[in-house]
Structure formats: structure tokens, C-alpha cells
Structure 1
């Protein structure tokens, strides 16, 4: 099969939608229900696209439809095409009136509890017709979705992008990371508290693939200490705060998180080596949609206010 065969009109947009739906739903039946189509119609359309491509895209098993090697490759491109078409529609709509659209934000721990809610609130006040979608995950999990166009930007502590191509970063503000515990944590009664003393208590740490986790590991190594043996790994801000509130757990959190929670208080142990730049990661070559540009403008404005308040 030559690549040009995909441009001869036999492959339809509905084929892309159908293949992605089967991949997401895991079965022809659920895909048909999701698309509000009859199951035979979905089965027939799947056969059509497989005939156009000349390969099998899915295998049927006890757990449903599983993409083949060809299917995984085609699904990746189908998602990208559909994402770009959605962006085209939003851009045209945004250019027409500037009052509607959707912006999807991937969030990390830093910036998600104060900066993002404030920016969303001011955006919605100015443009109530703009829909904001917030999705939380690690940086490594967000990047492929950013590059594929499924999300518009990633907000959080800036991670080194290294050899990753097609990305650019914008710094919004600097924020320290502090070790925190609840106000009545037993460690507060210990004189001359040290990092070693805190190993006697349970910890909640970020996942291994996060930049903050790597920096914390470096601090432990510099003190000649191993990581806490009693720990939970988590990046959900709500879960982390609840664990710290309800138990003797210790966590490393952005200072704004601790400052806005009356039940939490920093411990007297500095984390100076930890980098603390909060910002957004953006696609380098793909222009932002009007809604995404508005979101970035409001993030910048609110970050400037936070910086002024902490000065």
C-alpha cells in the first residue's frame, strides 16, 4: 500500500472516528453505543477501513478488541488528525466571536491549587462561554498528549525537557517547596529536628518519574540517608493533603499549598537545592487556539499577582 492511497477519497473521516472509538471503548458493541450507531454498521465500517489499509487493525479476544501493531500505529495518527480538526473548528469559532471554545490543561502538583483556580475564575468571568477542562497526571504522561494535540498546555513545576523536541516552556513564578505536616504532628516536639529524625514517620512522596521526586532523592543522598521505607507515592494534591491531615505523614508540597491550608504547617527543615520554577509547557510548532491563548494570558496575570503578594 502506498501512502497516497489514503488520499484517494476511500478513507473517510468517519473511519477515523470509528477506529478511535473502538480503541477507547474496547469493543464494537460499546463503540456502537458511544457513537449511537447500530453494531452491524460499526462492524461494516471497520471492515471498510481495514480493506482500505490492507491490514487488520484489531483482534477479538475474551477481553474485547485489542489493537494490532498496525492498529496502534493507525490509531495514533487518527487521534492526531481528529485533534487537529477539533482545533481547526475551535480556531474558526474563536476567530468569529472570541466568546466560545475549549481549553484543556494538564496539571502537575505545583500551581494547581492556587494559580490555576484563580486564572480559571478570571477567565470564566471574562469569557463564560469558554469551557475549561483540567486533567491531572505526571509530566511524562502529559507530554505525549500535548504533542498529539489532546491537551493545550501543561501547568506545574517546569521539568527539564532534555531531548524532547517540539516543546517550549514559559516561566510564570518561583515557588519554594517545603516539608509539611499537620500542626500537631509529634515531630514538632523533638528538639533540633533533622531530616534523619523524620524517617521515623510515614511519608507521602511524588512518583519516581517526577522532577520533584528526583530532587528529594538527591537531598536524602547528600545527607547520607536512604528514602523513607514507610511511604506512599502520589501526585494527587487532594489525596496528599488528606493523608497529611489525617495521619502522621510528611510531604513535600509547594509553599502556596501549605500557606492556604490552616491545618498544615512547614517543618523547620530547608529544601534549598530544590528547583522551584512554576510555568507552562507548550507545543513549539503548533499555534495556540484562541481559548488557550486566553488561558495563558490569565495564568500570567494571576502569577504576577501571586509574585507581588509574596514580595
Structure 2
């Protein structure tokens, strides 16, 4: 296919919306319901798009549709195009409305307890009419939302991947991940407890297929220990706090969380292979709205203060 055919006027934004909606819902029927149009309208639009591309973008099956190889490639680009357009509209709206705007930020544990709340507080003090939407979810969900333009930036632990050049990361500080219990937990009375001394307690582990979960599993593997049988897998910091406070649960948490809560206590058991970098992940080469840029600057400023707070913990660990 000649790529210039995509610029001859036949390809419309509605084709991209139809494509990404079908991919998200896995069904023409469910896409039609979501878009509040009839199924024939969606089917016709999909056929028009495939005619323009000269390739099928979905394999049809009895239980829905799945993207073809060509479809997966084009869907990724379509999501980027739509995300740019949404951000352009948001940018114009903010420029014409003074200090009014919206910024959506995703977060998962690291940064959620201090960095992000402090940055939001400062942003709201500076721009009270800006709406801040905070989404807490596992990292893979936040990445998908970031790529689709539904999240402007994410705050949390960083990993080594730039996701195929689609993202860029800003390192803000290094925060140790520690084993945490309630104050007065029986393990707190142990002298230099090893991991093996803790496995009979209930545990809260990061959810499967996250980088923190893989790193915690590596700690158990290197200690030649199985994962605790009595465990929950939790992504909600509010739920996790309650589990810790009201039971003998052991959990892995960024050290700033227990440092600011006298109901929680850190165990001295080392976690040497667990990553510590906290920062911001942004979509690569996407323009950012004034509200997003302002929040990012406040995140940088708060992070500078946190680095000072963490120096004693870094010296001790």
C-alpha cells in the first residue's frame, strides 16, 4: 500500500475511533453499543478502513474479533494520533480559559503517599481551577492508558524499559522498598529476622506480572524459599494499610509510607535486589498541556525535598 493513500481524504477520524474502540472491546457489537451507533454503521466503517489500507485489520471469530498483524500495527498508531488530537484540544481549551484545565495522572504505590499528594496540593494552590484526576491501577493498565492518551503521566517505580521507544522516564529519587508490618507485630521482637523467619506470617504481595512482584519472587528464589502460602495480592494502598494495621500481615512497601505512619514499622530484613527508582513516565514526543507541565514541575520540586528526607534511610540501608 502507498502510504500517501492515507492522506487523500478518504481516511477520517471516525475510522480511527471505530478501529480503536473495536480493539478495546473485542467485538463490533460491543463497540457499537459503546459508541451508541448501530452495528451496521460500525461494520461499514470497518470495511471502509480495510479498503483504504488494503488489508484486514481484524480476524473475525464466533466470540468477537482479534487484531491481525497489520491491525495491531495500525491500532498502535491510531491510538497515538487520537491521543495527540485529544491533547491538542485540551491545550487549546486551557489557553483560552486561563488557569482552567485538567491533568490525569496514574499512580501505583511508590509516590502515591507523599510525592504526588504534595505536588497536587501545590498545583491546586497555584491553579485552583485545574482539575486533577488521579487513577490508581497496576502498571500495565496505566501504561495502556498512557499510550491511549487517557492518562497524561504516571508516577511510581521506574523500570529499565522505554516500551519500544514509546515512553520516556524522568528519574526523581531513589526510595528503598522495605518489609513492613504493624507496630507491635511479633516479628518486630525478633533480632535481625531473616526472610525464612517471616514466611509463616500472612503476606501481602504485589499483583502478578508486575516488576515489583518479579523482584520479590527473585528475593524468595535466591533465599531458596517458596512464596508464602498465606497471602493476598493487593494494588490498593488503602486496603493494604488496613490489612497491615489489623492483622499480622507482612508487606513490601516504599519506605516513605511507614516513615509517615506511626502505626506501621519497618523490618530490618534486607531486600537487596528490589529496584528503588521512583519517577515519572511520559509518552514519548507528545505535547503536554500547561496543566501537565505545571504538575511535572511541582513533582520535580517535591522530589528534591524528598531526596533530602531520604538521605538518612539511604545511609542506613
TM-score range, shorter chain: 0.7 to 0.9
State the partner residue of 2:179.
179
CA-CA distance at 1:297 after TM superposition: 1.3
Say whether the 8 Å CA contact 2:87–2:288 is kept in structure 1. no
How far, CA to CA, are the matches of 1:212 and 1:18 in structure 2? 35
Say whether the 8 Å CA contact 1:98–1:290 is kept in structure 2. no
How far, CA to CA, are the matches of 1:15 and 1:60 in structure 2? 18
Greater mean deviation of Cα atoms: 6-15 or 189-198: 189-198
How far, CA to CA, are the matches of 2:82 and 2:12 in structure 1? 12
> What is the CA RMSD across the aligned residues, in angstroms?
3.2
Distance 1:227 1:111, change over 3 A: farther
How far, CA to CA, are the matches of 1:47 and 1:211 in structure 2? 40
CA-CA distance at 1:39 after TM superposition: 3.8
Q: TM-score, normalised by structure 1?
A: 0.82
State the partner residue of 1:258.
258
CA-CA distance at 1:193 after TM superposition: 3.1
Over residues 231-270 of structure 1, what are the superposed CA-to-partner deviations in whole Å (9 max), with x where a residue is unaligned?
A: 4444432343333334322111112211333432222434
Say whether the 8 Å CA contact 2:216–2:274 is kept in structure 1. yes
For the residue of structure 2 that corresponds to 1:201, the secondary structure is coil
Say whether the 8 Å CA contact 2:79–2:147 is kept in structure 1. no
How far, CA to CA, are the matches of 1:2 and 1:192 in structure 2? 67
State the partner residue of 1:35.
35
CA-CA distance at 1:123 after TM superposition: 1.9
Over residues 116-161 of structure 1, what are the superposed CA-to-partner deviations in whole Å (9 max), with x where a residue is unaligned?
A: 1222233234324433333344445544654564533221123223
Distance 1:195 1:23, change over 3 A: closer
Say whether the 8 Å CA contact 1:177–1:271 is kept in structure 2. yes
Say whether the 8 Å CA contact 1:203–1:228 is kept in structure 2. no
State the partner residue of 1:50.
50
How far, CA to CA, are the matches of 1:211 and 1:55 in structure 2? 36
Gaps (5+ residues) in structure 1? none
Number of equivalent positions:
310
Distance 1:163 1:135, change over 3 A: closer
Say whether the 8 Å CA contact 1:201–1:248 is kept in structure 2. yes
For the residue of structure 2 that corresponds to 1:280, the secondary structure is strand
State the partner residue of 2:227.
228
Gaps (5+ residues) in structure 2? 312-317
Say whether the 8 Å CA contact 2:86–2:149 is kept in structure 1. no
Quick check: 1:88 aligned with 2:80? no
How far, CA to CA, are the matches of 1:142 and 1:226 in structure 2? 31
Distance 1:136 1:36, change over 3 A: same
For the residue of structure 2 that corresponds to 1:279, the secondary structure is strand
How far, CA to CA, are the matches of 2:27 and 2:220 in structure 1? 47
Distance 1:28 1:209, change over 3 A: closer
Distance 1:148 1:238, change over 3 A: same
State the partner residue of 2:244.
244
How far, CA to CA, are the matches of 1:144 and 1:38 in structure 2? 27
Say whether the 8 Å CA contact 2:220–2:227 is kept in structure 1. no
Distance 1:125 1:36, change over 3 A: farther
State the partner residue of 1:205.
205
Say whether the 8 Å CA contact 2:175–2:310 is kept in structure 1. no
Say whether the 8 Å CA contact 1:202–1:228 is kept in structure 2. no
How far, CA to CA, are the matches of 1:163 and 1:118 in structure 2? 28
How far, CA to CA, are the matches of 1:74 and 1:68 in structure 2? 10
